[in-house]
Structure 1
Amino acid sequence: MSDADLPALAEAARRDLPHILEDLRRLVESETPSHDKELLDAGLDDIEAWLGERLGAPSERVRHAGGADGDVLEVLYPGEAAGEVLLLCHYDTVWPRGTIREWPVSIVGDRFNGPGCFDMKAGIVQGVWAIRALREQGARVPSIRFLLNGDEEIGSPASREHVERAGLRADVTLVLEPSRAGLVKTGRKGMGLFDVTATGIESHAGLDPEAGASAVHALAELVPEIAALAAPERGTTVNVGVFDGGTARNVVAGRAACQVDVRIQDPEETARVDAGLAALAPSDVRVKVEVTGGWNRMPMNPGPATDHAFGLAREVARGLGEDLGQISVGGASDGNLVAALGRPVLDGLGAAGAGPHSRDEHVSVGRTPHQVALVAGLLARLADR
């Protein structure tokens, strides 16, 4: 596809921007919290119906049951060129049922604001409108597979096998997660999710305190040791995000637990962190400590194939009148799962905006046509490989 076609793609996206925003409003107002199976099912039903309205019937369609988590929808739209590109998206959000009533969608100036708009329903919408723009231009594209999962925000427990299988089949995976200030994410940290549980001996805090062994005291003693496993110089961070325990003020606590989030850039850090967690031992030997959980995602570090894909994206961006940068970020995504298989991944090709997981979450209205055209141009460029 020649550079001369790229401005036409951007112009088509600018022309269609009102419809793009209408579609984004539709998806945002259909709430899909990660832990609400009823709303996830209804939301995916609506997304599938909307896909049919905008793109027509796919050549392949399968909906994988997610059990207690959101289902996974795969649809394939055949292309004229060889190969297959995976557009990887999640439709679940961190926002609980009823959020849309207290925080309705608003568009003020350049900001489209609403729960889940930036992370990442705008990416889904932009992917669909990129395909529509390409069809209008008559551009050759590879076959395009959408995979939409409803459990990414909780670690993709049900969808992981489907994401990995689709990623292995694809020549390139494009993750439509939000961008970082317009930059493509070519690197992401790996993530470990651990639970540390202390079991002590309950007793009356006033009448018989020495008979007890406080799990709360023991675990609090260990939290600094857990935090000390961080090694910022190696890209490793550790956060104890939740701590709870005990039953009453006047009871020596029999149980306490904390939830630990570990992020790594270097895969070799897994062994060091594992050893550190395994070595946790409170000074009161009567308290037993158990560590559960594990590594949810390995780091996404760019290699030659990803570098080549980024080079193509940068060529497209130049054809749209801008230079495209890349960045490595601390957050993980389903892109990590595909990258761990040695497959090329470009992440952060979705919305421009800011505020994920906050009430400031918003999509830049003015940048949306550019983001649509960038994905469209990259899909067409991949047909020339």
Structure 2
Amino acid sequence: MSALEKLRAVAPVMIEDLAELVGTESPSADVDAIARCADVVAELGRRYTGAAPERIVVADRPHLRWRFGSAPPRVVLIGHFDTVWPLGTLKRWPFAVDGIRATGPGVVDMKAGLVMLFHALAQLGDLDGVAVVVNSDEEIGSPTSTKLIEDTARGAAGALVLEGSAEGRLKVARKGIAHYSVRVVGRAAHAGIAPHLGINAGVELAHQLLRIAELGDPERTTTVTPTDAVVGTTSNTVPAEARVSIDARSFDPAELARVDAALRDLRPVLPGAQVRVEPGPSRPAMPETAATELFALAQRLGAELGLPPFTAEAVGGGSDGNFTAGIGVRTLDGLGAVGGKAHAEGEWIDLTSLPDRAALVCALAGAIGQDAR
């Protein structure tokens, strides 16, 4: 019996594992919930690989790593178990199966990918040269796990990222991402008695937002997006402080450098106001060249498995594949379950995709780097 046939035979077990994992909530901001989910993922990995992971805690956040055999690894499989959904979401939206679809918070991004990952390794047999990193902070930029990912992947012949897939497409390029916080400091005053004595941080922020919004370049697909903002404290006080988050994305590193320089060069418009730009988590771009060879390999192995041809896509969203590509490791992304509405109400996956794409991951993990051994 082939690996694909075996995976199709255990598809009901994969759904049971997925129900357990989705049923263990893991919002990025709740370290206690994250720790509970880490236990479930660790046990899932132990069950199918026969080995317990290293539990690497950074700033109270647990990350999991498995390393089998030789070092450095020839192939690294990457996933995350944190989600964007707050604790308590399951009470109104539990994991559910309707025909060939399953829904639930985090089902496509990316708990189904983790189930596929471990079932794929169970069918691989010889795990020598394989490493796995599963982190708990991908949804907030991987600030505490970036070094772990890079250290584990450095020197590998390839990295496989099991993020979800829209319509079965494989991700061969991702935009680089840079986050910033722009803070404005003004001076408080009573809005009714002496507004003229204040320096309105909200008005200054409005000036800055107009400048920031012009930094994007649609022709180069560079986006610069002001997102969450906070102004002032009470309705009858000239606001002394204001803040806005900035999300900048581009496939071109030179474009991100241009945006960075422009943001750092912001100057106040109102006399006496101060503008401070603070960089946050960032991800380098994942260029298409990082995936070219692995995408061709996936096409060949998929054809051997009898799977339909794959379509490649470049996307604006980031993943931990940006980090592996950023250190020069060949990277293929979007290998997880086929589904949709990630980060949105009604997130779903096609259950029939689980065994077939797990078989592809198994074949890729078995093939990558073998020619150099």
- Tell me if TM exceeds 0.5: yes
Question: Which runs of no fewer than 5 residues in structure 2 stay unpaired?
Answer: none
From 245, 251, 268, the equivalent of 1:282 is: 268
Deviation (angstroms), 1:142: 4.8
Code of the aligned partner of 2:43: A
Deviation (angstroms), 1:383: 6.0
From 202, 210, 215, the equivalent of 2:188 is: 202
Post-superposition CA distance 1:339-381 (Å, at most 9, x none): 1111111111111100111112111112222111111122233
Where does residue 75 of structure 1 map in the other structure? 66
- Percent identical pairs in the alignment equals 36
Where does residue 48 of structure 2 map in the other structure? 54
Moved over 3 A (4+): none
- Give the alignment's TM-score, normalised by structure 1: 0.91
Deviation (angstroms), 1:301: 0.2
Where do 1:340-351 residues align within 5 Å? 340-351=326-337
Where do 1:148-167 residues align within 5 Å? 148-167=134-153
Determine the C-alpha separation between the residues in 2 that align with 1:39 and 1:295. Answer: 22
Cα RMSD (Å): 1.9
Q: Conserved in 1, the CA contact under 8 Å of 2:157 and 2:369?
A: no
Partner SS state of residue 349, structure 1: coil
Code of the aligned partner of 1:131: L
Partner SS state of residue 334, structure 2: coil
Deviation (angstroms), 1:83: 5.5
Deviation (angstroms), 1:134: 3.1
Deviation (angstroms), 1:294: 4.4
Where do 1:99-138 residues align within 5 Å? 99-135=89-125
Partner SS state of residue 336, structure 1: helix
Code of the aligned partner of 2:57: A
Q: Does 1:63 align with 2:48?
A: no
Where does residue 93 of structure 1 map in the other structure? 83
Determine the C-alpha separation between the residues in 2 that align with 1:151 and 1:165. Answer: 17
Describe the shift of the 1:44–1:246 C-alpha distance in structure 2 as closer, same or farther (beyond 3 A): same
Q: Conserved in 1, the CA contact under 8 Å of 2:44 and 2:118?
A: no
Deviation (angstroms), 1:188: 0.4
Code of the aligned partner of 1:271: A
Q: Does 1:41 align with 2:32?
A: no
Determine the C-alpha separation between the residues in 2 that align with 1:380 and 1:274. Answer: 41
Where do 1:353-364 residues align within 5 Å? 353-364=339-350
Partner SS state of residue 245, structure 2: strand
Deviation (angstroms), 1:145: 1.1
- Give the alignment's TM-score, normalised by structure 2: 0.94
Where does residue 316 of structure 1 map in the other structure? 301
Deviation (angstroms), 1:284: 1.0
Determine the C-alpha separation between the residues in 2 that align with 1:330 and 1:313. Answer: 22
Partner SS state of residue 268, structure 1: helix
Where do 1:172-187 residues align within 5 Å? 172-187=158-173
Deviation (angstroms), 1:78: 3.9
Q: Conserved in 1, the CA contact under 8 Å of 2:108 and 2:164?
A: yes
Deviation (angstroms), 1:193: 0.6
